[in-house]
Amino acid sequence: MTLPALPGMLVVIRLSVHADATLWDTNGHPATIAEGQHWYVIGDEDCRYPPFFDAALARNAAIRRDVSLFYFDESIDSAPCCGPKPEFDLARLTAEDYVGVPIAIQADALAQLGSIRPQHGEAAIYDLLLRAAAAGMVIDRAADTEVRRSRARTTAPQALRERAVQSWAEAAGHALDVLPDPVRSALQLRVRFNAGIPPPPLTIAIAHHDAPKAPGRDDAHWLQALLAGLSSPADLDQPLRVIAHEAAARGVVGPGFGSVPVRIIGSASNYPSVTAQFNTLWRNCETEHLVLIANAYPSSADWPWWALLSFSLQQDVGIVNALVADAAGNIEGAVSREQLRDAYADASTPSVRPQPLDALKRFHCEWPIGASRVLAIRRSVLEEVQGLDEGLPLLLSTLDLNLKLRMLGYRSVTTPHAPFTAPSALAGEPLAPSAVAIFFARWQEILARRNWL
């Protein structure tokens, strides 16, 4: 059955989803899903829509014809403002149910997905969002529309969300386990290796961020701490390869390395920038999968490469940024989309000062992006973009790489489950206006868009 629509008119049908994952129309009857060009708005019994809701949805649908599913901000009667929901982020969605209801979905898209699946119960809409993303449908936040509630929305129980994410991973062909993260009240993805899915060969490539200083400074400390954490778990039958740039290894090669074999490459003459060292390193890697590291070492006894491989093994993920903090636990600076937009809009202050972003401590997410000096990436991906831009400092070169990969259709993910410690606090250093100007000149058309990625 297909519903007709008058020319120029958007037909909107409102439905309510119950806890048992059944859909009901506004007359209290079980809903029948039909194909067509109309839109279904699915909320719960507590959603109160503003009078202009249908008109706003029609406007958004006309402007963003590529979008199959919109979601909306919510406000609560007892709270002055709940703040906007994050823009759509598949990595974050697999960690927490931040979208919720209401959603608006194009009828043909809902029919293609087979409507909602009752077996997922209270997580049925969450499961629908994951399946829509897996099907390549564009999902976007309708920033100009807010729905009111009398009370805060209750998220689906964690066990049901675990099952929905596991179903998504299996359908996408990802060998992942979904683990509860009680510290962060979120979910964590963990790559699963077994006899049928062996781990890939992996290279750890080490650079040095700082120029050498006075004799006697212990440049070996962070490198020795890093190498001490490189022993492979018993279930990882592929030995790690480790290469280091001469700029990092100079004066440290010897007994301090212990039993870890390290191949030294490059030249420390004129002390190359860290981006130049990274480019030398990856071009000398003999494996497809690699992790680029500069002045950082694992923060915990847990083997951090699992969390990085959990995303870098996904073919639609181009780069994985690890979480890096200084010795005091302050997260290294990163730059959100909003910070870049504000800096782009205000030409009088072209410099960007990276800010600590505590939200990164909680979820793996695709934004913010930023100043991680620990990057998991595939060699073929770096070849595709010809490596990092050596004319930019590390933060902007990393941002530039993330943006290039996003433009090519890759996802860029930041994960808190691979924590690293930096031996010195470099993140607060402001960027030179000249470097920021070069970066903005390259990306100004993208930065000027609201839905820029």
The model's confidence at residue 226, banded by pLDDT at 50, 70 and 90, is confident
pLDDT in tens, 170-207: 998 888 999 887 666 789 898 887 756 778 888 999 98
Range of the domain at 61: 2-173
Total number of domains in the chain: 2
Q: Looking at the domain assignment, is residue 197 inside a domain?
A: no
Residues 109, 243, single domain; the answer is no
Check whether residue 149 and residue 260 sit in a common domain: no
What single DSSP character describes residue 335?
A: E
Question: Is there a single domain that holds both residue 231 and residue 160?
Answer: no
pTM summary value:
0.84
- Is pLDDT of 425 > 80? no
CATH number for 208: 3.90.550.10
Three-state secondary-structure class, residue 277: helix
How many other C-beta atoms can be found within 10 angstroms of the C-beta atom of residue 242?
19
Q: What is the DSSP letter of 448?
A: T
Task: Kindly give, in sequence order, each residue whose CB lies less than 8 Å from that of residue 450, ignoring residues fewer than 6 positions away.
Answer: 143
Question: Residue 251 is encoded by which pair of tokens?
Answer: 């004066």
DSSP 8-state secondary structure symbol assigned to residue 118: G
160 and 275 in a single domain? The answer is: no
Both 142 and 276 in a single domain? no
Do 219 and 168 belong together in one domain? no
Given 173, 188, 223, which residue is the final one in a domain? 173
Residues 220, 283: one domain?
A: yes
Tens of pLDDT, residue by residue over 140-176, are 999 889 999 998 888 889 999 999 999 999 998 888 9
429 and 380 within one domain? yes
* Inside any domain, residue 255: yes
> Where is the domain boundary, 121, 154, 173?
173
The residue ranking higher by pLDDT, 323 or 124, is 124
Verify that 50 and 112 share a domain, yes or no: yes
Q: Let me know whether 221 and 142 are in one domain.
A: no
Q: Do residue 150 and residue 208 come from a single domain?
A: no
Q: Is residue 6 part of a domain?
A: yes
